[in-house]
């Protein structure tokens, strides 16, 4: 009986070895579908997104604002200053118009607009808040010491140059780029002028929904 059992065991072992040793096993590896790139009209979408380095500023509500404050929200950033004669007021007016037609701007976890002052010595928190309030009281201003703002603007590829020959008002020549930051604190897309409301709405919604 033992011999019979041993013979059966050996036979099964040989069959098992032959079958699994020589028969190819096909494993179906499912690759997750790649997300299609958002269809945009004017935006430059960054792939991969660019992280923003640490910074420390204060917002127009008097609260500290740093790189971690960007987490959990989509944010649209713009660098400018309250005494700007043309570029900043024009851009803010367009953004306010965009905000009125963006459902994401009124959602429970809304996209935010952040205005970062390039003239922190003059743009105090009250002055910056009053300036932005002319366009939209929900817009958030950020200010702080000049080295911190210079470092942040540089990391966002924003240039700013003060004209020493301006006799009437302080004039700072600066980039007019809009910067879209994702909820992980990374630069996801850039917008450059001229700005059209329809293009901004389309691209912001396409990128956020994607």
Each residue of 26-56: pLDDT tens digit? 444 555 555 666 788 889 999 999 999 999 9
65-90 confidence digits (pLDDT tens): 999 999 999 999 999 999 999 999 99
Rg of the chain on CA atoms, in Å = 28
pTM: 0.80
Strands 172-174, 178-181: pairing kind: unpaired
For the cut 80, the answer to whether the pLDDT of residue 10 exceeds it is no
List, in order of start, the domains of the chain with CATH numbers. Answer: 44-209 (3.40.30.10)
CB of 153 within 8 A of CB of 55?
A: no
Q: What are the CA-CA distances from residue 132 to residues 21, 33, 48, 101 (Å)?
A: 73, 43, 32, 19
């Amino acid at each position: 009986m033992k011999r019979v059992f041993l013979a059966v065991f050996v036979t099964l072992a040989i069959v098992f070895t032959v079958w699994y040793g020589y028969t190819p096993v096909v494993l179906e590896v499912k690759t997750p579908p790649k997300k299609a790139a958002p269809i945009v009209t004017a935006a430059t979408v960054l792939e991969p997104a660019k992280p923003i380095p640490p910074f420390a500023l204060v917002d127009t509500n008097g609260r500290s604002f740093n790189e971690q404050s960007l987490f959990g929200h989509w944010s649209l950033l713009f660098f400018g200053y309250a005494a700007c004669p043309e570029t900043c007021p024009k851009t803010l007016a367009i953004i306010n118009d965009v905000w009125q037609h963006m459902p994401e701007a009124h959602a429970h976890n809304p996209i935010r607009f952040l205005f970062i002052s390039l003239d922190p010595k003059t743009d105090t928190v009250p002055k910056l808040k009053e300036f932005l309030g002319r366009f939209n009281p929900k817009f958030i201003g950020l200010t702080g010491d000049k080295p911190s703002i210079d470092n942040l603007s540089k990391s966002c590829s924003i240039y700013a140059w003060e004209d020493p020959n301006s006799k009437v008002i302080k004039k700072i020549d600066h980039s007019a780029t809009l910067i879209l930051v994702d909820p992980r604190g990374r630069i996801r897309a850039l917008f450059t002028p001229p700005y059209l409301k329809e293009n901004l709405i389309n691209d912001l919604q396409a990128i956020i929904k994607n």
